[in-house]
Amino acid sequence: MADVWFDTCEVTCPNCGHVQVEEMPGQLSELKCKGCGEVMHTPKGECCVFCVYGNVPCPDAQIAGSCSCGSEGA
């Protein structure tokens, strides 16, 4: 069973700290910050920008359950 708990993500820009809510259709390798205009890139070896800069892992990582973002609990 593939269950996705979150389909939106609060992404924090590492450059300016701007937080923007993005829909998560899946993994995303790049995301442009609406605050400063910088493009956030996924560091090599990481899953995607949601897993790196977001408050929840992307749907793929949620399904795989292998992301170590530490958003478990509750």
| Residue 59: its H or E element | helix 59-64
Task: Work out whether the CA dihedral 53, 29, 27, 20 comes out positive or negative.
Answer: positive
Q: Does 49 bind Zn ion (CB under 5 A)?
A: no
The binder of Zn ion chosen from 35, 55, 63, 69 (CB under 5 A): 35
Q: Which is nearer to Zn ion, 31 or 47 (CB)?
A: 47
User: Among residues 9, 11, 24, 51, which is the contact residue for Zn ion, using CB under 5 A?
Assistant: 51
Q: Are strands 8-12 and 19-23 parallel, antiparallel or unpaired?
A: antiparallel
H or E stretch at 60: helix 59-64
Q: Quick one: which of 21, 36, 39, 64 contacts Zn ion (CB under 5 A)? A: 36
**Residues of this chain that bind Zn ion (CB under 5 A):** 13, 15-16, 18, 33, 35-36, 38, 47-48, 51, 58, 61
